[in-house]
Structure formats: C-alpha cells, structure tokens
Amino acid sequence: MPLLDDALYEALIATTLAAGRVVMQVYDGAFAVAVKGDASPVTEADREAEMVILADLARLMPEIPVVAEESCAEGRIPTVGGTFFLVDPVDGTREFISRNGDFTVNIGLVQDGEPVLGLVYAPARGDLYAGRAGRGAEHFSVVDFEIASRRVIRVSDPAASPPRILASRSHRTPETDDFIARFPGASLVSAGSSLKFCLMAAGEADLYPRMGPTMQWDTAAGDAVLRAAGGSVETIDGAPLGYGPGPGEGVSAYANPWFVARGALEIL
C-alpha cells in the first residue's frame, strides 16, 4: 500500500477515531494517574490507546517501525530507517487529567526526516485534523466517533496584524515570553497539546514558539498537518525541524530542539 494513498489515509483516520474512543472511555470515568521515570504523568488512556494504534499499524504497514511514547518509556525503542511512524496516544496528558479537553491522539509518518502524514484527533472537542505532504490538510467534525463533515484547511494569508501567538498552556518558559515580547500588541491564545499546530493550519493563529522540551512524537503529526496546510516549523537556527534519532541514547535520541511554528510565512 503506497504510503500516502487514499486507502491508507482513510484507514489511519479510522484508527485515530478508534483510539479516541478508548481515550474517552477512560476520560469519562474514574482513572488513576501514575508518574513515569521522566516525572511526566501517564494514565491507562495512554497505554490503551497506544495498544489500539500499534495493533492497527502492525496490520496496515507491518514493515514500518513505530516509535511510540509509552513503548519507548518502557524501553521498547525500535531501530528505524528513513521511514517510520511516531505515535503519541495522548498528547497533553496534563490537560486530560485536568479534564479541559485540550488533549489529542497523534499519528505521524516520517520519510527521510520530514513529517509527510499526520493525524491529530481531539476527541473531547470532536475535532480531527489530517494532512499529507503535497495533498493538503483537512479538518473533520466528529460526532459519536464518526465523521460528520470535512473541509479543506489552509494557513492564514496574510497573517493577522499584530499576530495571533499560541502559547503552551502547561509549559511556558521565560524564553518563550521573551520571544512573544518581540511582537507588541500580539494577541495570545493558550492551548494544550498538538492542537496548536492545527489551529495555525486552520488559519486561526499565526505563530507558536516553543522554547522548552518536547519529543518528536509530541510534534510529528501536528507538524505534518501544518506543513500540508502551507505552514512551516523551524529550529531557532532557521532549519526545518527534522525527525529521526539524534544524539543521545534511548528516549533522549528523540528529543526536539527549540522551534518556532509559523502559519503565514511572512511574519518573520
């Protein structure tokens, strides 16, 4: 099955919806919170949704390795080549725990260091975003875990003036605030998880600076959606944010550098 064809795309949408259903079954009940070795929280929603995704990816594309957050946290880190999946079953676990709805299910596909396909599903909000390199990006309205409608989305052109800047709800840093200060009068929107990429992809925001720690599974899916919608994600040095194991051992090999995501490109 070609990597970006319609059949795989629709199958991955179904996988993302199925994982979101599992997440919401946990979200709507009582759940325990554990702490991983890196001090980040985890719930049964993370683990159960990841199991759904991994089973489907093994069926759909068994030859492609999958780097998934919870598996990596338990030491199961595959060897990857030029093509691999990055999976975060619940991005924004803190938002999940606080029950504010800003958490997402994420599946990203990487080829030669670039995110070429991404799906980001916010099940509590009923929003699913998807994008493919060279094929554009879409927003889906979801009702009862079924697609109710879909529309093509694209970044804002031109940018709002002053720009609309997205800031992490749970991970603001002084460096991020210094960046924001470069844009007097900018409107600030707080959002959790990979939704920030998707809001830019849909033309609802212009900039997302992230001067703080993230992992590649946090960003790959949303990055793919944003790039497919006409945006970009670059490191502080101006290079495209790349994907694949870097320096470090184990999980640390998948850490991201600081980056700035842009909707309308003429902002900077």
Q: Which positions make up the binding site for Mg(2+)? A: 69, 88, 90-91, 218
As a whole number of angstroms, the distance between CA 53 and CA 88 comes to: 10
How many CB atoms are closer than 10 A to CB 21?
16
- 130 class by beta-carbon count within 10 Å (0-12 exposed, 13-18 middle, 19+ buried): buried
Two tokens, residue 113: 């260091």
Binding residues for substrate: 69, 90-93, 218
Place of tokens 């975003």: 129
As a whole number of angstroms, the distance between CA 240 and CA 112 comes to: 12
How many CB atoms are closer than 10 A to CB 14?
13
Q: Are strands 66-68 and 41-42 parallel, antiparallel or unpaired?
A: unpaired
Binding residues: 69, 88, 90-93, 218
Q: H-helix or E-strand containing 89?
A: strand 83-91
